[in-house]
Amino acid sequence: MGWGRTLFLGDVGNRLDIQDTERDIDSLKREIRGSFHKDLSQDQKIEKLIAENAEMKLYLA
């Protein structure tokens, strides 16, 4: 990747660099999507725990 590929292979090397970059971007997007879903599921669990806690407080009162 880089200047050597472009220098020796011209347009083909440039296209290979672009493909490498696109692959890296796709990988980062998948990673971000995964962490977003993880955060979302954690938020849902926290909301459920808060609701259960409030219900227990009602029973105790």
Domain ranges of the chain: 3-60
Give CA–CA dist 12/20, Å, rounded.
Answer: 12
Express each pLDDT in 24-51 by its tens digit: 999 998 888 877 777 778 888 888 899 9
Q: Flag whether pLDDT at 23 surpasses 90.
A: yes
Q: How confident is the model at residue 2 (pLDDT cuts 50, 70, 90)?
A: low
Closest CA to 12 of 20, 27, 26, 54: 20
Residue 55 neighbours by CB under 8 Å, 6+ apart: none
Q: Out of 3-7, 46-50, 55-59, pick the least confident.
A: 3-7
